[in-house]
Amino acid sequence: MAPSSIPTIDIESLGLDQGALLLIRRALAERPVGGELQVRGRSPDWEMHLEAWCRSQGHPLRFDTVEGKPQARITRGPHAEGRWRDAQATGTALGDINGAPADDAEAGWGLAARGATVEAGSPNFFFALHRRHELWATTAGELYRQAAAAQWDPATAIEWDADFELPPAIEAAVVQVMTYLIENENAALLVPARHLGQIHPHFREVLQLLALQCADEARHVEVFTRRATLRGHEPALSTAGGQASLRTLFDAPDFSVATFLLAVLGEGSFVNLLNFLQANAPDPVTRQIARLTARDEARHVAFGMAHLEYRLSVQPDYQAKLRNAIEVRYDALASTAGLNEEVFDALVLLAAGELSPGAIARGHAAVQQLQRDMAAGRRARLARLGFDRDEAERLSALHTRNFM
């Protein structure tokens, strides 16, 4: 018999229910529509299975006898390509030449990997945050890698059994400060978490970074709780004013505004507070906790800044919205008491370490310095976002007295 020019594969004794379908599909994919493929095989049911499979896939099939053995001849049907007609391109995994993802991620890209080819007709997903300028930061990928590398284990990173003994009043002050920190960290966890579920996964670096940010805050809640209860106390007092302040963050509907208020102003101030605790706390456990959490918070501030710098670079008039957000929040909180006395006094006591007038004077001075440092930090960040000196000064002063 003359040699055939039709490509032939031999699946030998491999059954179609044992993987031979893979070999047939691959070989057939290389044939044009209407092109033929010959298949030889010798597993017991291969002919029957091939018939059933070709029927289900719309590939015409016949059997010839070659040298006394059956040989299948499959004609590639017209439907194989159909699934990928008008498929949607979703950019490239690493973004464009500048590493940036698409301007606007389409609803039909859904949950697919960035860079994947998505079948037309895939369901639309509603992601409120799908436009790049609403959520992107050019350093998001780098910050994510830093965050992933900097995760720490609360069980081993802190010497929980360090030997120390505090006077009861000072221990109570630590407990009060921890109580205050916990409610603030709950806000810092829930605010990004609320927006996280609305972000189109095309912007995966932001998604990944915010997920780790949530993990950071969950860890902070744990370590602050553990320190508060370390000597057998329950957490202490929570004020209406403090919660009202946090509620304005919780309710901010716009991702950029929420990020501005929470990360740039609030967590920025918190970095100063945690540095203060690292320097002034009366026991080694609190100092260790403050050091580790401050490092995490600094990354959150970095993302907030990078996002707003990006947004303002493509949408300069967005600055007016940021200014407005500070003013509205100030007005909303004008009738509240601000930082509660219990927290303020606790910070003084904690820095004083004892109840003598001399120690209290030192503690009080340290807390006043903390407030000046916080205000200076806010002014500097506002200036980096393009506010002029006087405006930065004014807006920094309007920031909630609750610090966060």
Which residues bind to another protein, rule: CB under 8 A?
Answer: 15-18, 44-45, 48-49, 51-53, 55-58, 77, 79, 81-83, 85-86, 119-121
Of residues 124 and 368, the one with the C-beta less far from another protein: 124
Of residues 55 and 372, the one with the C-beta less far from another protein: 55
Residue type (1 letter), 296: D
Q: Least Å distance between CB 135 and another protein?
A: 29
% helix / strand / coil in the chain, to the nearest 5? 60, 5, 35
Radius of gyration of the chain (CA): 31
Of residues 85 and 357, the one with the C-beta less far from another protein: 85
DSSP tag of 336: S
Of residues 13 and 315, the one with the C-beta less far from another protein: 13
Q: Least Å distance between CB 27 and another protein?
A: 18
- Give strand pairing partners of 39: 9, 72
Cα–Cα separations (whole angstroms), residue 246 to 89, 95, 269, 336 = 42, 36, 14, 12
Of residues 81 and 341, the one with the C-beta less far from another protein: 81
Q: Least Å distance between CB 87 and another protein?
A: 9
- Give strand pairing partners of 8: 38
Angle between helices 318-333 and 284-314 (to 10 degrees): 140
Decide if 399 contacts 325 (C-beta within 8 A).
no
Q: Least Å distance between CB 20 and another protein?
A: 10
Beta strands in 219-311 (DSSP E): none
Q: Least Å distance between CB 46 and another protein?
A: 10
- Give strand pairing partners of 63: 72
Structure tokens at 238: 């929570």
Buried b (16+ CB within 10 A) or exposed e, 92-107: eeebeeeeebbeebbe
CA 281 from chain centre, in angstroms, equals 31
Angle between helices 389-398 and 357-384 (to 10 degrees): 130
Of residues 37 and 292, the one with the C-beta less far from another protein: 37
Of residues 44 and 197, the one with the C-beta less far from another protein: 44
Q: The tokens 């057998």 sit on which residue? A: 232
Q: Least Å distance between CB 127 and another protein?
A: 21
Beta strands in 107-243 (DSSP E): 117-118
Of residues 7 and 77, the one with the C-beta less far from another protein: 77
Q: Least Å distance between CB 51 and another protein?
A: 6
Cα–Cα separations (whole angstroms), residue 270 to 174, 192, 279, 296 = 16, 16, 14, 11
Q: Least Å distance between CB 130 and another protein?
A: 21
Phi, psi angles (nearest 5°) of residue 350:
-65, -40
- Give strand pairing partners of 69: 66
Of residues 44 and 316, the one with the C-beta less far from another protein: 44
